A and B are shown apart, each in its own frame.
Chain A
Amino acid sequence: AQSVAQPEDQVNVAEGNPLTVKCTYSVSGNPYLFWYVQYPNRGLQFLLKYITGDNLVKGSYGFEAEFNKSQTSFHLKKPSALVSDSALYFCAVRDIYTGTASKLTFGTGTRLQVTL
């Protein structure tokens, strides 16, 4: 069974500083990996994905994520945080062998708090 771990319930960072939100995964085959962001009372917004190719993927709003197969990690990063980045971030995984209609398995979420 596939699973995702987000070890930090909350990450606090000052505006302008780099941020990292951690994610590790477990799948039986090769993973498709995703990051989503959820603002209060809103749905999940897609940020970025890793399917294949370059281990560093770039997404929306200046976010990027680094896929590390040996460490089974897919950490979300941003070089310079903004107060408006404060939200709940979810990492998700899909097993590529289970078909296009297969489910996403989400982590428990990490709340990012960016302060002035």
Chain B
Amino acid sequence: EPEVTQTPSHQVTQMGQEVILRCVPISNHLYFYWYRQILGQKVEFLVSFYNNEISEKSEIFDDQFSVERPDGSNFTLKIRSTKLEDSAMYFCATSERDEQFFGPGTRLTVL
């Protein structure tokens, strides 16, 4: 069964550094999403992406965040200057129609 994959599984970075989180969507899916889950809290929407542009973004998704599909397969989330409060599990999700399928997540730790 096709799966969403994410790399790395765990990223440790220093505050102020840039990180790029990568996702490989299921091949025939056209809609892409990033969510995050701070430890012990609920899953929060960050951004959705369709047809090479952002469809919707949350208040969390400020100017330090960006998304792109650099090579038509990978879907990336870049955090330009990480903050301590960016420490969370970041999930990529993709969909063809209604249900979204989630990757295993990248645990980002900002020190």
Contact = CB atoms under 8 A, between A and B. Distances in A.
Main secondary structure of the interface of B (DSSP, over half): strand
Interface stretch (B12-20, B73-81, B96-104): B96-104
A101 B42 contact: no
B104 A43 contact: yes
B111 interface: no
Interface residues of A, number: 24
Contacts, number: 62
A22 interface: no
The residue in A32, A46, A49, A51 that gathers the most chain B C-beta atoms within 10 A of its C-beta is A46
A108 to B, nearest CB: 5
13 contacts: A36-B102, A42-B104, A43-B91, A90-B43, A100-B31, A101-B48, A101-B50, A102-B56, A103-B48, A103-B58, A104-B45, A104-B100, A109-B42
Interface of B: 4, 31, 33, 35, 41-45, 48-50, 55-56, 58, 91, 93, 95, 97-105
